[in-house]
Amino acid sequence: MSGQTDLQAKGAFSTHGPGGSRHNRITKILGSSYPIIQGAMRMITLGEMAAAVSNCGGFGQIAASGLSNDKLRAELKRARELTDRPVGVNIPIYRPNAFDALEISIEMGVKTITTSAGNPAKMMERVREAGLRVVHKVSNESMARKAQAAGVDAVVVTGFEAGGHIGRNDVSTLCMVPQIVDALDIPVVAAGGIGDARGLVAAFALGAEGVEMGTRFLATQECAVPTFFKERVCSASSDETFILGKKEMPIRVLRNKMTEQLEKMGEAEADEFLGKSGDSTYVTEGGNRENATMPCGQSVGVVKRIESLSEVFFELVGEAEELSKRLGNFFGGGEG
């Protein structure tokens, strides 16, 4: 027996890098020190937040969704002022300004973009021509196969536990990640339900080579959401989320008075209401905890404190190392 698992043969693991970094195929694609991606969050993860994550050694990214072209340029410039490490841009492909966001990313020197909500094949010619790398978000195996065939460098597999937009098939991260790891040759990043080091190590055990986290980073000092949202994240348990817009574009949010009203409406009426209200209820300083749409995942239950991004990040990495040693001792036959 060669002692190599399938994952090793695919090049999933390599030697540790300098300065406590952990390198594998995902860090090579991202240019980061750790395979930890800060999930893009619409109108929340802007230049400062992305730079703070990248400065920790993770991969910070700016959500292009909802930003004008000038605002996207300004946020990329802000990130550049705050870090010289790679920062990405997340581009939802179905949005009308997706190709503008792509051109701005190229013009501003971004090396890796992430895409979501659409077919990445549409962008691949320009992406390749510009020498960009692209990580595409999927929520089932057939989307993952199509993304690989289109030529993306990696996929983020997001289970239905995740905050924000989720797939329509109600499949968990735990079940989906290993299936997609087996189905693809390109590396897989797990997203959805990962709130601490236990989730991170579990994701790697499933065969993921990176994790993307959104909900955990909401309760950080650097995150640009109102305090009432951060406080709800710290007090809510995992059963306090609700899926809005089930028929159209399902989105997991925190329960409040607004979701209670929508629950009473029935699916079609609720979808119509959401379609009409557009972005007007999306969480902003002007709203409050009872009327705002607060996208949030089920991992909310493990988030208990508002901390600085670096505290969250290095706790995550340190605890993952400890946990891996303990598991190695147990499953490797040591004393545990």
Ligand X SMILES: Cc1cc2nc3c(=O)[nH]c(=O)nc-3n(C[C@H](O)[C@H](O)[C@H](O)COP(=O)(O)O)c2cc1C
d(CA 33, CA 83): 14
The amino acid at 54:
S
Least distance between ligand X and beta carbon 229 (Å): 9
214 binds ligand X (CB under 6 A): yes
Residue nearest to ligand X (CB): 214
Q: From residue 201, how far is each of 75, 208, 247, 301 by CA, in Å? A: 32, 9, 33, 18
40 binds ligand X (CB under 6 A): yes
In terms of CB distance, is 55 or 284 closer to ligand X?
284
* Terminal C-alpha separation, the chain: 26
Q: From residue 30, how far is each of 55, 176, 189 by CA, in Å? A: 13, 23, 12
Decide if 158 contacts 138 (C-beta within 8 A). yes
49 binds ligand X (CB under 6 A): no
97 binds ligand X (CB under 6 A): no
Question: Of the ranges 49-57, 120-128, 182-190, 209-217, which one interacts with ligand X (CB under 6 A)?
Answer: 209-217
Distinct helix (H) and strand (E) counts, the chain:
14, 11
Alpha carbon 198 to chain centroid, angstroms: 17
Decide if 94 contacts 68 (C-beta within 8 A). no
Could you say which of 167, 245, 250, 297 contacts ligand X (CB under 6 A)?
Answer: 297
Binding to ligand X (CB under 6 A): which residues in 171-200? 191-194
**Which three-class secondary structure state does DSSP give residue 295?**
strand
d(CA 60, CA 6): 30
Could you say which of 29, 144, 202, 296 contacts ligand X (CB under 6 A)?
Answer: 296
State the binding string over 129-148 for ligand X (x if CB under 6 A, else -): --------x-----------
Binding to ligand X (CB under 6 A): which residues in 227-286? none
In terms of CB distance, is 287 or 295 closer to ligand X?
295
209 binds ligand X (CB under 6 A): no
Decide if 208 contacts 181 (C-beta within 8 A). yes
Q: From residue 78, how far is each of 24, 36, 52, 186 by CA, in Å? A: 29, 21, 11, 32
In terms of CB distance, is 179 or 238 closer to ligand X?
238
In terms of CB distance, is 134 or 296 closer to ligand X?
296
State the binding string over 56-95 for ligand X (x if CB under 6 A, else -): -------x-x------------------------x-x---
162 binds ligand X (CB under 6 A): yes
For binding to ligand X (CB under 6 A), which residues are involved? Answer: 39-42, 44, 63, 65, 90, 92, 116, 137, 158, 161-164, 191-194, 212-216, 295-297, 299
